[in-house]
Amino acid sequence: MREPRVPGDFPPPQGQPLDAIVIGGGVAGLSAAWRLQRAGVQRLLLLELAEGLGGTSLTGRIGDHPVAWGAHYINIPPAEADCIHTLLQELQVIRGYDAAGRPEVDPEYLLRWPHERLFVNGRWVDDLDPFAGAGAAEAEPLRRFEDEMLRWTLYRGRDGRRAFAMPLRYSSADSAVRELDQLTMLQFLRAHGLDDPRLDWLVDYACRDDYGTPLDQVSAWAGIHYYACRFYDRRLRDQYPSDTLTWPEGNGFLVGRLAATLDPAQRQTGTAVLRVETAADGVWLGCMDTRSGALFSLRARRAVYAGKLHTVPLVVQGLPPAQQEAMAGLSYCAWLVAAVQVSRLPLSKGAPLAWDNVLAESPSLGYVAADHQRPAASGPRVLLYHLPLVRQVAEARRHLLERDQAFWAAQILADLRPAHPDIDEVVEAIDLYRWGHAMAQPLPGTIWGEGAAWRQRACGALSFAGCDTTGLPLFEEACFSGIRAAEQCLQGLGVGGPTLIPGLGGDG
């Protein structure tokens, strides 16, 4: 598959060119295909390398139980997230709005209590609070941090936009806001006199969880966005909901509903796109059937590349050097997910099992109770363990690939033993899923630097989608970028109609 290919290696395409091809069947690609079909484009084909759709929102199965091997939740989108609201309404996740304009969702999709617990100082405590039991004076750094995040949540720039919006392209262009992308989150905290190891841990955990990037490396803009783009602060709870939505199959639930909007003939898995050539009037693709090894080619009037952007310079021909550099320069963390099957719940000291079970003194994120959302769990319980490999990422990726299942199983059990002394007695099996390029890291300059514009720029009749284009590895960014790329295609196809992203205000 990695051999250099030239157009002559591929048989000529058969029949008339398609109207549009989408390369990649993750959330961005499916959102692009949904948008194209919604506008009436029927001569459409979505291509996916893997045998199933979903990308990093992939769902697997252990016995009769679905397992989220990747992304496993979203939050109710902020009010300004126009295209996300439209998509979630059509997927019947948002059922309507109350008199105040707040979204209403099926209660079945709301995260059930208890939400979180933290293993710290030898016992489990409720909520994700490393300051649990601290007095008012001792917890003052947390209060000051919360006040600063609330200030940014409410801040509007001179352009009238929120400082930290969703999608991020809707955020204020004020220099006071965008300059935060030149700092790390650790530098931001220290500049504000915040130097407390428990606060450092809390913010580091959030950034590793959502962005696969530690506190001392992540862009301060991205770190603040985590807290300020939604109304997380308890003082704002009555203004707008920020509830977590999740399903037993994780975001694979949303993938399934998006995929159902396409006819079976409009999606094709097991297909590697090896070469793409673009022009103003169309796109040519050289492809391989991964099952048989057979080569074939396709033509389309327009196309969307919704794969990982680091692959673009290896596949797409004729990109400007600056665009190649911007895409090849992204840094990706690796990620290990383990489905730890247990005969019964392991022993715990302190707070009872929650959905998210976090280990304070661990490089991992702890584990999610995979069957938490089921009304009545049956069969073996599954603890979904998450280990983001966020430092020296190239070496970490190599280790993830080279070390075998026995090595990683031993690492996982050693990590769980302090919290669950009987873990070895109850484990029945450990299945692993390895993500070599789980998510692009929002390092300083990634979001608002010069490379961001290049990552989002179309090349002839080829548009680019995926959260890699905007710089934040979030479901909402993947949806937005797919819809935006699809609307670029619609313009090229001469298909009119109202935009689903009016929040760009013509800044497409």
| pLDDT tier, 508 (very low <50, low <70, confident <90, very high otherwise) | low
Which DSSP string do the residues of 114-167 spell out, in sequence order? P-EEEEETTEEEESS-TTTT--TTTTHHHHHHHHHHHHHHH-B-TTS-BSS-SS
Cα(222)–Cα(67) distance, integer angstroms:
29
Q: Which of 310, 345, 315, 302 is nearest to 326 (CA)?
A: 310
Average pLDDT over residues 425-432: 97
Q: Does the global pTM surpass 0.85?
A: yes
Tokens 């299942």 belong to residue: 405
Q: What is the CA radius of gyration of the chain?
A: 23
| pLDDT tier, 289 (very low <50, low <70, confident <90, very high otherwise) | very high
- What residue type is 370 in one-letter code? A
Cα(310)–Cα(327) distance, integer angstroms:
5
**Cβ contact 115:355 at 8 Å:** yes
Average pLDDT over residues 255-276: 97
Instruction: Give residue 315's pLDDT.
Output: 96
| pLDDT tier, 139 (very low <50, low <70, confident <90, very high otherwise) | very high
The two domains 7-58+250-330+447-504 and 332-440 share their CATH topology (first three levels equal): no
Q: Which of 177, 176, 175 is nearest to 164 (CA)?
A: 177
Give SS3 for 426.
helix
Give SS3 for 438.
strand
- Does residue 207 carry a pLDDT above 80? yes
| pLDDT tier, 326 (very low <50, low <70, confident <90, very high otherwise) | very high
- Does residue 60 carry a pLDDT above 60? yes
Which DSSP string do the residues of 447-504 spell out, in sequence order? TTSHHHHHHT--BTTEEE-SHHHHS---HHHHHHHHHHHHHHHHHHHT-----S-GGG
**Cβ contact 289:270 at 8 Å:** yes
Instruction: Give residue 113's pLDDT.
Output: 95
- Does residue 340 carry a pLDDT above 80? yes
- Does residue 378 carry a pLDDT above 70? no
Domain ranges of the chain: 7-58+250-330+447-504, 137-242, 332-440
Average pLDDT over residues 434-450: 97
Within 10 A of 199 (CB to CB), how many other CB atoms are there?
A: 20
For the ranges 61-65, 101-105, 151-155, which has the lowest average pLDDT?
A: 61-65
Within 10 A of 180 (CB to CB), how many other CB atoms are there?
A: 24
| pLDDT tier, 137 (very low <50, low <70, confident <90, very high otherwise) | very high
Q: Tokens representing 447?
A: 């979001």
Instruction: Give residue 2's pLDDT.
Output: 78
Instruction: Give residue 507's pLDDT.
Output: 66
- Does residue 443 carry a pLDDT above 70? yes
Report residue 102: phi and psi, to 5°: -90, 135
Instruction: Give residue 63's pLDDT.
Output: 82
- Does residue 338 carry a pLDDT above 80? yes
Instruction: Give residue 230's pLDDT.
Output: 92
Ranges of H-type helices in 251-362: 252-259, 312-315, 321-328
**For the purposes of burial, counting CB atoms within 10 Å of the CB of 166, is it exposed (0-12), middle (13-18) or buried (19 or more)?**
buried
Instruction: List C-alpha distances in Å: 369 to 262, 358, 365.
Output: 32, 11, 13
- What residue type is 318 in one-letter code? G
Superfamily of domain 7-58+250-330+447-504: FAD/NAD(P)-binding domain (3.50.50.60)
Kindly report the CATH number that applies to the domain delimited by 332-440: 3.90.660.20
Instruction: Give residue 232's pLDDT.
Output: 86
Cα(313)–Cα(42) distance, integer angstroms:
29
Within 10 A of 121 (CB to CB), how many other CB atoms are there?
A: 12
- Does residue 387 carry a pLDDT above 60? yes
Query: Where are any strands of DSSP class E within 306-349?
Result: 332-342
Give SS3 for 337.
strand
Residues in the chain: 508
pLDDT, the chain, mean: 95
